[in-house]
Structure 1
């Protein structure tokens, strides 16, 4: 799997949009799309920045394996129960991460509003 595909899969697991990641990177959505499609080379610095935005260690991006998260193999009841539990925990973590992200976005928006009110008044 190419690094762009790995980044895309992690982004989707985190339920982040391309627009959000592009904004965090300071690039356009179409520029970010090229990263996921492998049409743009990634520097180590940009990859580290992506790891921070996705809130995962750099190694997790490099070593990401889709089948770990989307296991489509048949398994017995005990394995199934364990898989369901671990997937539930993953979903809960992703949900909690999304709440934290939304709180950060609200805080950032509030700061921007304060800035505009201070500099331009209430229009």
Structure 2
């Protein structure tokens, strides 16, 4: 059975290790709003699909043609199937390392923004209801 666009978007997002919160932040929507995209509860315009592709660093064509099973089949051929032949180690070259570093730094920035928002909300709560 062919995967739907919503599933393909979710699979690519997860492979890139992006959270729904990250995607929502980049799209300028709430996490709940983004979740509706992946659940198929929101109709997805071509323009929004282009924007999602830009965030995921893939083309619309890549999203449409993405096949999860083929990706992992090819991935296992390249890195080994982790059946003991390579002791579970996946070699990371310099290009992959820089991409991983960027993803990690993006995640840290997102978490810092979320922490800041939480602290602001906590202060508002304390102002309104007092210290506990």
TM over 0.5: yes
Q: Does 1:61 align with 2:63?
A: yes
Alpha-carbon distance in 2 for matches of 1:97, 1:53:
14
Q: Which has the higher contact order (CA 8 A, sep 6+)?
A: 1
Segments of 5+ residues of structure 2 without an aligned counterpart are 82-89, 113-132
**Aligned counterparts of 1:97 and 1:6: Cα–Cα separation in 2:** 21
> Residue 81 and residue 55 in structure 1: after superposition, are their counterparts in 2 closer, same or farther (change >3 A)?
closer
Does the 8 Å contact 1:18/1:33 carry over to 2?
A: yes
Deviation at 1:81, TM superposition (A): 7.2
> Contact 1:35/1:41 (CA < 8 Å) preserved in 2?
yes
1:82 pairs, out of 77, 82, 85, with 77
Aligned pairs, how many?
102
> RMSD of the TM alignment (CA)?
3.5
Give the whole-Å Cα distance in 1 for the aligned partners of 2:6 and 2:27: 15
1:70 maps to 2:65: no
Equivalent position to 1:3, from 2, 5, 11: 5
Contact persistence 1:6–1:61 (CA under 8 A): yes
Indicate if the aligned counterparts of 1:14 and 1:98 stay in contact, CA closer than 8 A: no
Give the Cα separation in 2 of the matches to 1:80 and 1:16: 19
TM-score using structure 1 length: 0.65
CA distance in 2, matches of 1:64, 1:10: 8
